């Protein structure tokens, strides 16, 4: 079989160690040199220097969880890196060791039998991480708001009949008042910008007949989490407007509903 990369290396990456196997041609025969290093930054830099010293041109590794990412970041720029899908290079049945895995990866890479997975540039990776974090925060915030509405409906407290947004200015004032133990309809309606109509009085007054003076714990917990998620989401929006490079938003305000 044709050898495409005569001097290459295969890495078997783990949480605390990396087993590296270099494929070294010696005439018609092939030798393998194996080295085991740690996963700290200093150890990975020593691995980078060792591979450079051995004149390695291509390096392949399996995509094992998130453990491959630090290795990739350290070696990127020094070698042609190949990230392999573990299912594509599944080893044959038999004795399985870290050295055997690294050797097999190097042999497959040498003959061009590993299909590389797409790894975006660092700028796109950072933007992906930011967007995924923001999306998760938005999803969690929506879940907490649903818990707040569920608690109010369970208590027959029709806050949605009084204000359009339970998390707006008036809604948050009412929620904070409930958390502080205030349940009198007059006090709650005073937190809104609406006139005290009979319909509003009845909708808000039901909480005084249903709950005790202590605020419902699910509401307090959910509202506190919502405020924390909102602060984190605001920080993500701020950071999103200050990303350097081609994805910079140049400080513009970002639309919550359209930016992902």
260 contacts 131 by C-beta, under 8 angstroms: yes
Residue-wise pLDDT for 181-226, tens only, equals 877 777 777 777 655 455 555 555 555 444 444 444 455 555 554 5
Provide Rg for the chain, Cα atoms.
29
Q: Does pLDDT of 132 surpass 80?
A: yes
Distance between CA atoms of 105 and 58, rounded to whole angstroms?
11
CA atoms 229, 233, 235, 236: torsion sign: positive
Look at residue 30 and tell me whether its pLDDT is greater than 80: yes
* Local structure of 19: helix, strand or coil: strand
| pLDDT (mean) for 65-70 | 91
What's the rounded mean pLDDT across residues 146-166? 77
pLDDT grade for 148, boundaries at 50, 70 and 90: confident
Dist. CA 101–CA 106, nearest whole Å: 9
pLDDT of 1 reads: 72
Q: Looking at residues 46-51, what average pLDDT do you find?
A: 95
In three-state secondary structure terms, 49 is helix
Q: What backbone torsions phi and psi does residue 35 show, to the nearest 5 degrees?
A: -140, 140
Most confident of 30-44, 87-101, 168-182, 217-231: 30-44
Mean pLDDT of 228-257: 47
Which tops the pLDDT comparison, 125 or 153? Answer: 125
Instruction: Indicate the average pLDDT of the chain.
Output: 77
DSSP secondary structure, 128-176, as one string: HHHHHHHHHHHHHHHHHHHHHHHHHHHTT--GGGT-S-TTSHHHHHHHH
194/182 Cα distance (integer angstroms): 18
Q: What is the mean pLDDT of residues 54-58?
A: 94
In this prediction, residue 221 carries a pLDDT of 54
More confident residue, 214 or 41: 41
* pLDDT at residue 193 in the model: 67
């Amino acid at each position: 079989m044709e050898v495409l990369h005569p001097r290459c290396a295969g890495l078997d990456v783990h949480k605390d160690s990396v087993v590296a196997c270099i494929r070294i041609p010696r005439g018609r025969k092939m030798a393998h040199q194996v080295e085991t290093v740690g996963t700290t930054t200093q150890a990975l830099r020593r691995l980078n220097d060792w591979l450079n010293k051995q004149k390695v041109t291509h390096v392949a590794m399996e995509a094992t969880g998130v453990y491959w990412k630090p290795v990739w970041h350290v070696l990127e720029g020094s070698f042609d890196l190949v990230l392999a899908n573990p299912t594509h290079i599944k080893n044959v049945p038999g004795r399985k060791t870290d050295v055997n895995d690294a050797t097999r990866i190097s042999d497959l890479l040498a003959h061009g039998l590993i299909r590389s997975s797409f790894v975006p540039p660092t700028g796109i990776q950072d933007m992906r991480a930011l967007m995924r974090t923001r999306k998760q925060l938005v999803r969690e915030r929506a879940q907490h708001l649903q818990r707040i509405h569920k608690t109010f409906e369970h208590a027959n407290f029709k806050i949605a009949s009084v204000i359009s947004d339970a998390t707006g200015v008036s809604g948050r004032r009412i929620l904070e008042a409930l958390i502080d133990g205030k349940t009198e309809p007059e006090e709650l309606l005073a937190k809104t910008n609406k006139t005290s109509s009979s319909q509003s009085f009845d909708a808000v007054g039901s909480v005084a007949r249903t709950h005790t003076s202590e605020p419902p714990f699910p509401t307090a917990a959910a509202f506190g989490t919502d405020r924390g998620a909102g602060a984190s989401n605001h920080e993500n929006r701020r950071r999103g407007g200050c990303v350097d490079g081609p994805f910079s938003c140049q400080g513009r305000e970002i639309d919550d509903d359209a930016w992902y």
